[in-house]
Amino acid sequence: MNDTREDAVPGSLIAQYLSRRTFLGGLGVTSALAGSMGLSMRRAWAQQMPASSLAFDELAHGLDVTFHVAPAHTSQVLIRWGDPVYADAPAFDPANQSAAAQERQFGYNNDFVAFMPLPPLSRKSNQGLLCVNHEFTNPRMMFPGLTSGLQAKIEGAAGVTAQTLLGQMPDLTREQVEIEMAAHGHSIVEVKFHNGAWKVVTDSPFNRRFSMLSTPMRISGPAAGHARLKTSADPEGIKVIGTLNNCAGGVTPWNTVLIAEENFNFYFSGDPASTAEAGNHKRYGIAPDKARFQWARYDERFNVEKQPNEPNRFGWVVEIDPYNPKSMPVKRTALGRFKHEAAAVAIAPDGRIAVYTGDDERFQHVYRYVSTGKFDAGNREANMTLLDDGVLSVAKFEKDGRLIWMPMIWGQGPLTRENGFASQADILIETRRAAELLGATRMDRPEDIEVNPVNGRVYLVLTGNDKREEAQIDAANPRARNSFGHILELMPPGADAQASNHAADEFHWNVFLLAGDPSDTGAGARYHPETSKDGWLTTPDNIAFDSRGRMWIATDGANDNGFADGVWATDVDGPGRALTRHFLNVPRGGEMCGPCFTPDDTTLFVAVQHPGQEPGSTYDTPSTRWPDFDAALPPRPAIVAITSKGKPIGG
């Protein structure tokens, strides 16, 4: 483990001066030069430079009913829960909702956002398809007349910070349950920038709603058709209706979108103890006291006693082709089954595809898939099967700074029949158990993971783990009762984005920052020493990079520290490395998701999730009515577009 400030900052600084880091052989050489300079000399160099490349004035930490962005930037609410996805969608009428209407309207709790330019493969930044996940529903904020009930935390998944109101389920009607199902999934809407504002093109032929109620999806890869994926509705185990709890995601080089099924366990009721899947379901948190939805009351596929294999059809990465409105989404089983947070794709120098994914639960693991086949820029169709055949590996972070990718291949090491794995499909269905047997590093809740487009390094966001004891500390998870989270930097061999070998068996790794309040000596936080009183953050969750490789960090859980979630931005190299600056606040009770830039960085799309979700807040008595501030409307999750008079976001 290396310190973020002393080693890497001066190394990159020198690299900037010399402007020939690749020629010199990359980080190793520049760090060695830095090491030979001495501390006082390094500080003197640093003082001559403006610390951060980010030129905006910081916001203050604060908590109120509305949305704030740094000066010189404009924010526009682009699309909200209930807004039309199709031209014929009924107007949003929250007192008279229906599942049929919801299937034509934008879903609930927008999370991941991808901007896919139109035309495809262009860098066009004023017209494109916005692809948005709808992660979960909260009936108390969606339907009138429900009481707030007891406050509860989603055990394991929400950890220390994300309080939810899903703890005690209110009684829901069949129609309300079907509205919930319809509000899950994904939306694709064409968007255009015209006369200084973004608008949704409701009559675009590309617009689509994918819902948990009615959208068929194909299952592919080694576990497709396996006996453990067969149900009475799908005796072949190859087709499933819907996708659940889609959190973050990623975009492939062949311009498809990957969406990650996360906390699928909360939707299943019944006791799996007497079924053949008892151990498997227990490991993923399916238990009578873990259910957070009432869907099994009206649909027996959510009752594990009746359909014990149904949960095995969730927890996958799903691939969507937004440019083909007739295409069927595909669940790619080769990438493993767990509580996927995201999926970041990179191309290795030999053309193989790497997909990085993390399992968002305390003490779970980080994975990487490497395709057998190679990316072919001239043959999109051929790329459509790259995620069906490859090697899944799981990460072991060594204290000497090496990161070992351990392959999860049937018949190798402990992944054998003796340990209950009859084939590769069993490893992919019970990925967590296989990872444990291999001795993978148990992490502090892996949330987003992204590949930096400039330096080629991979950034892994750990949102926190209040259950880690002193005795469980390791180099990559260095704090006990980690309430604040941290960000790791994974370094494949190779000096820059082009040379980075994302298929290598061994990487190196570094701590990028340890979140929390740097003025609180007990917090063990670590940033750039010039981080301001508003520049520190907590519980990092989703990240995005702009085209200059600067990191934009969205948080989930800052409300617990008395201020709003939002976005903080930082350089990753140079004198501003790990100097986080506060850019944006969401309304109280909300979480920040989905930061996503247009290719030219002039628009930043963000997703405000569950505004007003906090103790005592309901549809009838919300703590905010953002974004409409209309007494007849509840708060609504919404996508916000941020611009800066045509200039790149953040200066």
**Footprint of ligand FEO on this chain (CB under 6 A)?**
135, 247, 262, 341, 360, 447
What separation in angstroms does the CA of 594 have from each of 318, 515, 545, 547?
17, 20, 12, 16
* Minimum CB distance to ligand FEO, residue 247 (Å): 3
Binds 252, which of Ca ion, ligand FEO, none (CB < 5 to 8 A, cut-off by type)? Answer: none
Binds 234, which of Ca ion, ligand FEO, none (CB < 5 to 8 A, cut-off by type)? Answer: none
* Minimum CB distance to ligand FEO, residue 157 (Å): 7
Interatomic CA distance for residues 541 and 158, integer angstroms: 11
Residue 289, judged by CB atoms within 10 A of its CB (0-12, 13-18, 19+), counts as: exposed
Contact 384, 451 (CB under 8 A): no
Residue closest to 229 by CA, chosen among 320, 321, 331? 331
- What's the CA dihedral at 106, 108, 109, 110 to 10 degrees? -10
In the complex with Ca ion, which residue's Cβ is closer, 430 or 565? Answer: 565
- Residues 6 or more apart from 624 whose CB is under 8 A from it? 65, 66, 587, 588, 589, 590, 611, 612, 635
Largest CA distance in the chain: 71
Can you give the length of the chain in residues?
A: 651
* Minimum CB distance to Ca ion, residue 348 (Å): 21
Interatomic CA distance for residues 422 and 181, integer angstroms: 34
* Minimum CB distance to Ca ion, residue 115 (Å): 12
What b/e string do you get for 202-228 counting C-beta neighbours within 10 Å, with b at 16 or more? bebebbbbbbbbebebbbbbbbbbbeb
* Minimum CB distance to Ca ion, residue 556 (Å): 4
> Please, what sign has the CA dihedral across residues 175, 180, 186, 187?
positive
In the complex with ligand FEO, which residue's Cβ is closer, 131 or 247? Answer: 247
In the complex with ligand FEO, which residue's Cβ is closer, 54 or 166? Answer: 166
Contact 485, 468 (CB under 8 A): no
In the complex with Ca ion, which residue's Cβ is closer, 426 or 541? Answer: 541
* Minimum CB distance to ligand FEO, residue 435 (Å): 18
Binds 261, which of Ca ion, ligand FEO, none (CB < 5 to 8 A, cut-off by type)? Answer: none
CB atoms within 10 A of CB 519: 10
Interatomic CA distance for residues 3 and 489, integer angstroms: 12
In the complex with Ca ion, which residue's Cβ is closer, 398 or 560? Answer: 560
In the complex with Ca ion, which residue's Cβ is closer, 234 or 448? Answer: 448
Contact 456, 497 (CB under 8 A): yes
Q: Which residues bind Ca ion (CB under 5 A)?
A: 247, 448, 541-542, 556
CB atoms within 10 A of CB 493: 17
Interatomic CA distance for residues 570 and 579, integer angstroms: 6
Please work out, in degrees rounded to the nearest 5, the angle formed at the alpha carbon of residue 331 by the alpha carbons of 330 and 335.
130
* Minimum CB distance to ligand FEO, residue 527 (Å): 23
Lookup: tokens for 533: 């009183």
Which residue carries 């409300």 as its tokens?
Answer: 559
* Minimum CB distance to ligand FEO, residue 515 (Å): 16
Q: How far is C-alpha 8 from the chain's CA centre?
A: 26
- DSSP assigned state of 333: G
Taking CB positions, which residue lies at the least distance from Ca ion? 556
Taking CB positions, which residue lies at the least distance from ligand FEO? 247
Binds 135, which of Ca ion, ligand FEO, none (CB < 5 to 8 A, cut-off by type)? Answer: ligand FEO
Interatomic CA distance for residues 624 and 611, integer angstroms: 7
Please work out, in degrees rounded to the nearest 5, the angle formed at the alpha carbon of residue 250 by the alpha carbons of 222 and 197.
150
- What's the CA dihedral at 552, 16, 26, 444 to 10 degrees? -20
Lookup: tokens for 442: 């148990």
What's phi and psi for 462, nearest 5 deg?
A: -110, 120
